[in-house]
Structure formats: structure tokens, C-alpha cells
Amino acid sequence: MEPTETTVSRGNAKELVASLEGPRESFLVVDENVLVHHPFVGEASTKRFVVPSGEEHKSWETLGRLLEAMDEARVDRGDQLIAFGGGVTTDLAGLGASLYRRGLPWIAVPTTLIGQVDAACGGKTAVNLAGGKNAVGTFHLPSQLVVDPDFLTTLPLRQVQSGMVELLKTAILEGEDLLTLVEALEPASFIQTDSADQADRVIACALTVKESFVKDDVKDEGPRWMLNLGHSFGHAFEALALPDLLHGEAIGLGLLCAARLGTHQGGEAGLEERLRKTLDTWGLPLTPPEGRASDPDALLDTMRRDKKVRKGQSTVILPLSPGRVEVMNGPSQEALRMGLEAVLEPIST
């Protein structure tokens, strides 16, 4: 697969739209809220599909409607798809681009924090099925990744908070320097332009870390698994709490569970509490909502059905200390239960 050309700068999305006239015609896939808050995006193309807001629309049905819309617009193999939106839109659009006429090039323009530091980078595309998150997907790298932090100024605070968890995950993987930098951030840093330098720096740093994991393992066969830190537990919370927990909120809970298990495997004793304090300061939930997302049996059952399970064996990435993680293959049910206790029976501080 051809590598992605990545740029991070304020105003680069407008430059992209202004430069789109060329040999390839563009088909626009855009999140409905992005079109309202940033109407210049509509100038990318009159041929378009608007993605309704919400994880429930990252579905087989929406994918079918997107492919039909591309067909009705007579998109052909000489054209390209250009996607503006959060992870829901880029996951869906990337999948559409990889399937339509056996594959079109696509440009990703992420407009949420999760999208900018994670979802739009690395070519993983997907939609959910009733029984599993990201159950259908492909690997299809965008030809360009255009990251413009100005989009974040209109993002609801809760979405920013949720995105900061993916930053926290990346920082744990990278090491103490980035972790310290990320911990010192406030959600407002991403919304207000007077803290633009700091926000832009951290976004660019996190992207570089993610790209370094993807570079040698585009198809997710080894090194890239580390990026799933917090996700084995997190996806179970997300699936069972929908629509009450956002993706990053669920991954935050997953990080705490993984850290609890990591400590039992010889990891740094204070890491779980350090992460808990950061999540708390940023205003993120430390326990799942009541109901099935708080039921250990339902959570374990959901983890067993995760798409990463191979021959019945799941894999959990354990953080041992900043910059040091370990892959735990086939954890026992007791070990997973012990991890879940980090959020089902929180330690009082």
C-alpha cells in the first residue's frame, strides 16, 4: 500500500478544498455537523453523501446507502473520495472507498480529536454489526491525511474530553516525556485558539507515534497491536453502554482495567492511580453506567466475542510503566475479572 502523505497545520483543509480541481473528481463524504459548522467543506464537491451523527450510523445500512449514492453519482475508478468528519465518518468512508469498484483513492480530513490523533491515521476502516464493533472492515490507507486543528474549535467539550483519552493512550505507549505533556493539558486547550501552539504540538506528536506503529505493520499483525492498549476492555464497555458512553470514555475505563492487570504482572504500582487522577481532572467517567456495562459476566461475554479473539483466545495489552507495555495472550477469566475491578469496585482516593 502506498504510504499516506500527512500534514498538520491550521488552514490546510481550506487549502485542500481550494486545490481540488484536477484530473480526479471528488466525491464528498461529510459528517452532518461538520457541514453546518464548517460550510466551506461543501465546496469540495457537489457529489456528496452526508453521514448522520452518531456511532449507530457506522453501520452496514449506512455503508449500503453510501455505495448506492456513489453509484448514482456515477463515480468511477478515476475519481477519489474525500471524507470530512470524526472516526465514524472516516471509518465508514474509508471502507466505502476500499469496496467501491474494488477500490478508489481517498483523502481523510479528520475533524474530531479522536479522528486527528487516531482514527483517520493508519488505514483501518470499518462498520459495526449488531454483535460486534468494527466487525466488518478493510485496510485501506488514505492517500492524504489532512489534519487541521481549527476544526476542533467547534467540537462539543465532551467530544474533546473523549478524544483526550486516545492521546493519553498514545502517551503511555511513547513514554514519560509525552505523558507528562499530555497530563498537563486541559480540554479547553483544544477549543481555544490562544492555546493553539500547545494543542498543535501534542496532536502532531501523537500522530507521529501512531504512524511509527503503523509503518511496519499496516495489516495489524504484530507491533500495531500495542495501539489497542485499553481497547479490549474498552470496546466491551462501549458496546454494552451504547449510546451512553463515547468511544474515548469507554477506552478510559479500559485503560484503568489494563493498568490494574499490568500491576499484577509486575508493572509500576502507581500507574493506575496516576491515570485515574488524569481522567478525573479532565472530567471523564471512572465507572461505567449502571446496567449491562457494569455486569462483569456481560462484559466478559462481550470480550470473548471481540473481533481480535483468535481461536477463542483474546489478547490484552498491559501498560507496565510509561513507554513499556506487554502483550498478554489468552488471559484467564479470573485475570480479566481482576482487571474489571478497577472500575467496578473503584479504590477510594
Point out which residues bind ligand NAD (CB under 6 A). Answer: 31, 33-34, 37, 53, 55, 58, 85-89, 91, 111-112, 114-115, 118-119, 122, 124, 134, 151, 154-155, 159, 162, 247
Which triple of cell numbers denotes residue 110?
A: 479528520
Cβ neighbours around 222 below 10 Å, total: 10
| Length of the chain measured in residues | 349
- Closest approach, Cβ 155 to ligand NAD, in A, equals 4
Residue placing its CB nearer to ligand NAD in the complex, 54 or 78: 54
Residue placing its CB nearer to ligand NAD in the complex, 178 or 263: 178
Residue nearest to ligand NAD (CB): 87
DSSP string, 180-199: HHHHT--THHHH-GGGHHHH
- Closest approach, Cβ 22 to ligand NAD, in A, equals 26
- Closest approach, Cβ 332 to ligand NAD, in A, equals 27
For the chain, strand residue ranges (E) read: 5-8, 26-31, 48-51, 80-85, 106-110, 124-129, 132-139, 144-147, 315-321, 324-329
Alpha-helical runs (H) found in 28-185: 32-37, 60-72, 87-99, 113-114, 157-174, 176-183
Report the alpha-carbon distance of residue 252 to residue 285 in Å, rounded: 8
Residue placing its CB nearer to ligand NAD in the complex, 191 or 309: 191
Residue placing its CB nearer to ligand NAD in the complex, 139 or 335: 139
- Closest approach, Cβ 31 to ligand NAD, in A, equals 5
Residue placing its CB nearer to ligand NAD in the complex, 141 or 267: 141
- Closest approach, Cβ 51 to ligand NAD, in A, equals 8
- Closest approach, Cβ 111 to ligand NAD, in A, equals 4
- Start-to-end CA span in the chain (Å): 48
DSSP string, 211-224: HHHHHT-TT-SSGG
Report the alpha-carbon distance of residue 84 to residue 38 in Å, rounded: 10
Residue placing its CB nearer to ligand NAD in the complex, 123 or 262: 123
